[in-house]
Amino acid sequence: PADNPQAVVRAANLLTDAHGFQIAKTRVTISTVGPSPDSFVTLGKAPVALTWSVHASEASLRKQLVPTTKYSMVELRQGFIEAMLNQPKKLRTTMLEVALIDNVNDDAKDAEHLANFALEMVDQVPGLKLMVNLIPFNDIGHPTYRKPSMERVKNYKMC
């Protein structure tokens, strides 16, 4: 959605308009990998929740997992923070999404890095409620990427 953020914002407005579909603003979420800080800022103008599929907060690993990444994680985080600051407080519930991949981004170091990365957002956005959605990779027979064990997922959560 972030490749055409203006259209996504228009769609969110139509979905939540009192004379349109009348879906509650708190029931609609835009999820994106965040191709640019500006796309976050534009998407933050939508009257709905915004989530970010980070998959890894450490720059080189994220570049491996999201090869379309052109901006640093610090730049993207700042765009996301700006988007959250422009949201009304009732829409400042957000989620960072991570597809956990066995022995790629599912160890304690990755969890700690993500926690510190996320804390910066919480510190800068008053009233931000941030959740992390851990999604074990769906094993589809990829030669490199595999589903992590439930033990690794639980250990990641405990960090």
pLDDT tens per residue, range 86-136: 999 988 999 999 999 999 999 999 999 999 999 999 999 999 999 999 999
Rg (CA), the chain: 16
H or E segment to which residue 77 belongs: helix 73-85
Cβ within 8 Å of residue 62, ≥6 positions away: 54, 55, 56, 69, 73
Name the average pLDDT for the chain. Answer: 94
Averaged over 20-32, what is the pLDDT? 94
CA distance 41 to 87: 10
CA distance 109 to 57: 11
- pLDDT value at position 152? 97
Residue 151: DSSP 8-state: H
